[in-house]
Copies of this chain bind each other. A is one copy, B any other.
Amino acid sequence: MASSPKLNVVVAGASGETGSSIIKALLANQAQFHVIALARPESAGKDVYKAMASSGATIKTADFRAVDALAEQLAGADVVISCLMPIQLVESETLIDAAHRAGVGRFLPSFWGPVMPPRGVMAVREIREDLLDRCKRLYLPYTVVDVGMWYQVCLPAPYAPPPPVADVFIGDGNAPSAIIDKDDIGPYVARIITDSRTLNRSVFAYGEVTTQSTILAEVEAATGKKVPWDSVSAAELEARVAEHQSLAAKDPNDVGLLLNLAEDQYRYSRSVRLDNTPEHAQYLGYLDGKALYPDLECKSVREFVREVVSGERDHRIYVGRDPVADATQHRT
């Protein structure tokens, strides 16, 4: 992929929820991007990669545990985007080291979540920060992208994903939080990776700032009926986090428990600490995606709810999948 006038963009973890949003947006602009998806040898034959290939992507098999071989696969890459999961720690570290060795122009470590302070709020965040610190030790050019929560995980049942990802209504439901249609992540990324302002910076690329009360009202307006939503108080949530932390300390290998803990810590961060807002993102040093790209139109919560309630789109994530099993399989 040496002498192309296009930007060579390599995506690791391309088959996941965030990765597929990014791949789709990049493939929609093949005049600008040469899209390369990395796949483990045992996964490269899967339908998801065949579909990417037939849409114009190059599929490269990669051993995410061999720095030298991986660096060769990354040779000539202008941008490398990691959508690996935090649990794929060795793979993530190897990818950073290989990107450094290959001299790539910009690396996007796997963040793609809500905004929160770097340490002391939740363990999953600290894993991501450790990976960013690894980039910084190498002076690897980077861009962090956080997107808030996905619309797809913020609706009440029956429009919610399976537990533990399914959301609960917290307190009075009036905490502001930034959320986004998962499908809008890709278009943001296509802008961010061609923007010199975002080099070695963090970007908060969200759809809109809203509250659970507003989301509930939108669902009730679209369905024309009262929608029940399991609720929990801030105090109950705090107690649940403490309980899960204590259980996880005793059994640190219980992946299901860790996921439960992580989900509750996410909820506590955004609904009680109020971390996931543009104001706190600014304090934490993020550039604001709305200010960077005022012309980029994101789907509104209202329109998203309308599409989902009307059945126009299957919005759910993890459909037919078990998030616990998903997380576990990456350990093998």
A residues near B (Cβ < 8 Å) are 117-121, 130, 133-134, 136-137, 139, 141, 200-201, 280, 282-285
Contacts and interface: CB of A to CB of B under 8 A. Distances in A.
A275 to B, nearest CB: 9
A120 B130 CA distance: 10
Contacts of A119: 130, 133, 137
A143 to B, nearest CB: 12
Ranked nearest first, the 5 interchain pairs of A and B with the lowest CB-CB distance are: A117-B136, A119-B133, A117-B137, A120-B137, A200-B283
A201 B201 CA distance: 13
Contacts of A139: 117, 280, 283
Given A200-B282, A200-B283, 9 more contacts: A117-B137, A118-B133, A119-B130, A120-B133, A120-B137, A139-B283, A141-B283, A201-B285, A285-B285
A229 to B, nearest CB: 29
A296 to B, nearest CB: 24
A10 to B, nearest CB: 22
B200 A136 contact: no
A109 to B, nearest CB: 14
Contacts of A285: 200-201, 285
Contact of A117 (B133, B283, B284): B133
A217 B277 CA distance: 54
A201 B282 CA distance: 11
A35 B237 CA distance: 44
A285 B287 CA distance: 12
- Interface-central residue, A136, A201, A284, by most chain B CB under 10 Å: A136
Contacts of A118: 133, 136
Contacts of A120: 133-134, 137
A97 to B, nearest CB: 13
A137 B200 CA distance: 22
A283 B199 CA distance: 9
A285 B130 CA distance: 17
Nearest to A141: B283
